[in-house]
Amino acid sequence: MLKVQYVSMQKFQASNIIIFGGDGDLAYRKIYPALFEIWKSGLLKDKMLIYPVVRKTAKKQFLDRLSDALQTHLKHENDQDSNNIKSFFEIVEYVKISLPNEQEYKVLKSLLDGSKGFQNIYYFSTPSKAFGEISHLLKKMNLIDSSSKVVLEKPIGNKLSSFEKINNQIASAFAENQIYRIDHYLGKETVQNLMVLRFSNHLFEKSWNRDHIENIQITVAESIGVETRGNFYNETGALLDMVQNHLLQILCLVAMDPPHALNAESVRNEKLKVLKALRKFDENTPHNQSVKGQYTRGQINNVEVGSYLEDIELYHSSIETFVALRVYIDNWRWKNVPFYLRTGKRLAKRYSEIVINFKPVCHNIFNSAQTLENNKLIIRLQPEERIELVQLTKIPGPGGYRYKPISLKLDFIDSFEKRLPNAYERLIFDIIRGNQTLFMSDKELIASWSWIDGLISHWQQSSKQNELYKSGSWGPSHKVLLQDDHWFINE
């Protein structure tokens, strides 16, 4: 397999990566495979040490599962290399901290004190309610200095007040320029390419506004259920798990004005303007601008699957597994342009994409009996990463002007020879080198939580109920239509 070609070949500071929640599902699936690829790149040769901090898992059990996780990753990448895994294990130092107290943290301190000249990167892959306690103990044990960084997994809190409480606890130990609030969707190649697509192509930047765009749709569809995340998911649901961070961050990149420079402060300021311009919810929102649902039994790929309640082994839950919203941004660029945000579990297929639907031409001079379909820009985020521009083209042959939509495609896998680094890989590299551009500021999260709290409040006031949908469908059928592989909310 070809190695990743990194644009920046700068020297990276030697780093200790300390992963709290080091035996969690996220760490095995995402964090360790990303660190493995970074280690393989050679850019941090002899300059990276990894400290998984676990509470209960025994060392052998941890290493066995880590080996399985890396083998699965390599199989996916078509690059089985057991020797690489054995070598990688040489930089992994298992740390067991059963209880959050000073005595337990002395073990970690003795290990980190032995690697002078390394920056300490603390990765909090735990429930956010533990963030403050971990930060307090790290500070008390003098394990934080000016070079230290902390990485926070989402969601941070479950509403504005809890976010602010947790954020203040972290801020008592780390400065804002040391905090990296991670959203892996911002590390996806196609999401980052939005910046280049929009701001370096005259064709799109001049038409990227309410005069030329009819609506914008952002969809994250998953065919899986809650799987092993049942306890976590039943405290968050689709709104907090997906909309509050992933979908809103994508919305910001799609809708923001050009930053004056490509740096963290400028990009974050423009994103914040979008979040502050989001139209507030009112008493009509639950009825005509939002849908919430929960999956029941059904079939995925011709296999019978259970309901959400069966998956979490409860008789009742008000948690939603599907959300669809129509939202508006009240500024000059986007006034009255609907943005459709949709996400759900156990849907018919897995895909994530952004669809820019352009307005139709004013007059059809060709064939009044045949509708002129709108141009579309489709930015597919997963499972494959590609960009499509859908335009009308004449069908060859005699018989007058007959036309059909044809896609001009940029497929990243086909267009670039090198393996594309995954999102976590790219973001961890940015953390190591101190680039916060693709990470959320506290001000962004305050604005997004404030907006989300407003929606939840109106749901509660109106006693908004989940609408049931079959696993393997596209959500609540009488509310959502599937049209040309894209969802539309009935108006």
Please confirm whether the linkage preceding 286 is cis (ω < 30° from 0). Answer: no
Closest CA to 379 of 399, 349, 359, 409: 409
Give 360-397 as a 3 state SS string.
Answer: CCCCCCCCCCCCCCCCEEEEEEECCCEEEEEEEEECCC
Q: What are the φ/ψ torsions at residue 313 (nearest 5 degrees)?
A: 60, 50
- Work out whether strand 149-152 and strand 119-124 pair parallel, antiparallel, or are unpaired: parallel
The number of residues in the chain equals: 491
Residue among 246, 316, 458, 478 flagged as catalytic? 246
Written as six digits, the tokens of 383 are 């499972």
Closest CA to 383 of 419, 417, 353: 353
Q: Which residues pair with 293 in a beta bridge?
A: 322, 467
> What does each C-alpha distance from 392 to 204, 370, 462 come to in angstroms?
17, 12, 44
Residue type, 93: E
Residue showing tokens 């990149």: 253
CA–centroid distance for 355 within its chain: 17
Task: Tell me if residue 478 is catalytic.
Answer: no
Please state, in angstroms and rounded to a whole number, the distance separating the CA atoms of residues 131 and 141: 16
- Catalytic residue numbers read 246
